[in-house]
Amino acid sequence: MKRKAFLTAGAAMAGWAGLPGVVRTALAQGAAPSPSRVWLCPPSRFEIAVRGAVLTVDCFDQAAATTALHDGIDDGREALIAVGRQRQPVSWEVDAWRQPDARTLVLELRAAQHPLRAEVHFDFDPASGMLTRRTRVRHDGTDGPVDITATLALSVAIREPIRRMTYLAGGWETETDIQRVRPGEAAIVLESRAGMTGFDFQPHVLLHAAAASYVCQIFWSGNWTLRVARRDGATMLLGGLNNWQFHHRLQPGGSLALPTVLFGRFEGAPGLATRRLHDYRRARRPDPDRVIPVQYNCWYSLRGQPTAEALLPLVPIVARLGCEAFVVDAGWSRTDDGESDAEWDQRTGDWRVSRRRFPYGLREVAARCRQQGLRFGVWFEPEVIAPASSIRRDHPEWLHHIGGKAPAAGARAVLNLGVPAAWQHVFDRVTRILRAVGVDWMKWDFNSEIGAGGWAPGLPEALTEQAVLVAHYEGLYRLFDAIRAAFPDLILETCAGGGGRMDGGILAHAHVNWISDQVGPLRKLAIHFGTQLAHPAVMCNDWLIDWPGDAGGRQVPRVEPRGDLQLRLRVAMLGSFGISAPIEHWSGADLQVAARHVALYKTRLRAIIQHGDQYFLTRPPPPDGNGAWAAVWYAAKDGSTGVLFCFRLAGPEAKRVFRLPGLHAARRYRAAFYSGEVVEASGEMLAAGLAVTIADTFRSALCLVEVMPD
């Protein structure tokens, strides 16, 4: 781990069991304020207590004997709020416990010695068994500000032995490597100080007990922290905003919302927690029933040099492949000051179409796409400002001053979306292009890090009192919502050099995220296994990239020489799906193979993959491909159909048997392999195992399973 933050303050979070049903409480609605409350949702028990600076939740197996709960604040690490330079914990008293309905509990707290109030919402979702926890702190006094210097949105004590912890680590092009450890006495600290979610870790953790699993996510796209520690016979989860260089001044009447935290406890197979997490996240993404189109993106063909001359001949090929959207990636823009020969990353910020590259504008390419039945998409990087942008000259106060320093003259800078005028600039420039061109797909990229951020000098004090990253990301979320409201049919894709800013916070405001810049299919396969522990497949966008080896008679450098076109296509099909490769150099046979897979994905597989239950049938594959097999099974919610993806890696075993859960035991199914082999069997037989043979290493099998008429 690159960095370890020692937490100084915390807030509480509760949990219910993963079974739908009415939550029963130990105190009736309207009862007198009390420092504690018991919530029951068989087979679990949750004891919520307020003790001075601490709001804590203890989670038990319902059958467990009553346990003496811990006291104290553990050196301030569990304080709901800390104030001042010394991070003094704030002590709280309970004003009221309210239950607006059977699935919601609201705590109203009053600070003992400060003009602060806190409202804590716990909301249980019976469909998924997940619990959300939201906290807002308000200044309800009239005299003077309060400086908040540490917060935490999560504090849970799990009161059953934890055998294993799973978390996700990585880097650029190596995102979400699955890590499994046995929690010990030393704390495990996951965090980001990159000014975004980060590549190092995901704000996500799975904990496995003997008969139950716990899942927890922090919905935040700026700096965050998540700490897992053993103490007093319990496993503690603490997390939320990263306290590193954090400062937020509350004036009278002001408020601060802490990140939403998601938590769940589930008995049964370990994968159940992940599937219920997926259910919750899918249901709450923007436009949850919207289909994510199969897209062609020009990046890996043109590498930042798109022109009308290069793109127009690709349109009929993309249509022939059966793609549904054509996305122009980086390099189409110029600055306010005119045309330039500079690279694409030196022309961001002003968002004007380069007439040198597109003499008739992007509308010419968009019109050609629509003639071929394709939607049209455009890439932006609105937060990152090139040195040549007019913003650098005219509005330096709109930029982040990291560490109090102005951006270096020759370096790209980051626009501060907490500044209202900067926010409006982005909204106006982006929506002008979307409206004028008629854009159906918008890719929002972010290739930068901003650390703790920083306000520029000269801005109003009422603005700069806020924590700068809180202001930036609340501005980003509002901007996404405003753009989607203005263009309700738009697909909004996020990206940050791949998966550098992928979390439940940003994906509550966007439809899909590009999961990695990794081009090698074997390494990308491993990334899918990790990313889809934390995020449902529909949010995980991938492309076929690394093909072909020989383009137009010239050898093209390839990261991964192993694996055929079918394997590469099927890796990319594990989530939302697209193609970004030099298709203009493909053979007729390659085009035919790809078109057949695209058609199968659109007509038969997409609904299962993007909305069904997912099961990993093997251990995560090693990124270097030197494993045995990798297999993923998706089953429709109604048990009527499923699709199995199998990948044979370097191992010697040519045949494996895979159990296929989620089908109706007594119904008959037809299992049709892409190769032509067909097997008929009952759901019970398929749950016992389906044999799959792949004769050669680094090849794959795809099998569609469909229920047969009675």
Residue 70 has pLDDT above 60, yes or no: no
Beta strands in 242-383 (DSSP E): 248-250, 255-257, 260-267, 295-297, 325-328, 333-334, 352-353, 375-380
Residue 513: partners with Cβ closer than 8 Å, 6 or more residues away: 493, 494, 495, 499, 502, 506, 507, 535, 539, 540, 541
Return mean pLDDT, the chain. Answer: 91
CATH architecture of 295-611: Alpha-Beta Barrel (3.20)
Domain coordinates in residue numbering, the chain: 24-158+225-284, 295-611, 615-707
Instruction: Indicate whether 623 pLDDT > 70.
Output: yes
Q: How many CB atoms neighbour CB 488 within 10 A?
A: 8
Q: What are phi and psi of 558, to 5 degrees?
A: -130, 135
What pLDDT score was predicted for residue 552?
Answer: 55
Q: What Rg value do the Cα atoms of the chain yield, rounded? A: 26
Backbone angles phi, psi at 164, to 5 degrees: -150, 145
- pLDDT tens, 322-378? 999 999 999 999 999 999 999 999 999 999 999 999 999 999 999 999 999 999 999
Q: Which residues pair with 61 in a beta bridge?
A: 44
List CB contacts of 400: < 8 A, sequence separation 6 or more: 407, 413, 414, 415, 416, 450, 453, 454, 455, 456, 468, 472
Q: Is residue 607 scored above 60 in pLDDT?
A: yes
CA 389-393-399 angle, to 5 degrees, is 75
667 neighbors 686 (Cβ within 8 angstroms) = no
What are the DSSP calls for 678-697, one per residue? EEEEEHHHHHH-EEEE--ST
**Dihedral angle sign, alpha carbons of residues 568, 569, 573, 578:** positive
Is residue 340 packed enough to be buried (19+ CB in 10 Å), middle (13-18) or exposed (0-12)?
middle
Neighbours of 586 (CB within 10 A): 21
At 68, which amino acid appears? A
pLDDT at 473: 98
Give how far the C-alpha of residue 617 lies from the chain's centroid of Cα atoms, to the nearest Å.
Answer: 23
Instruction: Convert the pLDDT of each residue in 249-290 to its tens digit.
Output: 999 999 999 999 999 999 988 899 999 999 999 999 999 999
d(CA 600, CA 321): 12
In this prediction, residue 69 carries a pLDDT of 52
Q: What CA–CA distance (Å, rounded) separates 187 from 5? A: 10
Look up the CATH architecture of domain 615-707.
Answer: Sandwich (2.60)
Q: Which of 545, 522, 540 is nearest to 651 (CA)?
A: 522
Tracing tokens 């897209």 back to the chain, one arrives at 295
pLDDT-derived band at 19 (thresholds 50, 70, 90) equals very low
Rounded CA-CA distance 277/215 in Å is 8
Q: Identify the pLDDT of residue 42.
A: 63
Give me the pLDDT at residue 553, please.
56
Dig out the tokens for 261 from the structure: 């935290």
419-463 residue pLDDT tens: 999 999 999 999 999 999 999 999 999 999 999 999 999 999 999
Does the structural domain 24-158+225-284 have CATH classification 2.70.98.60? yes
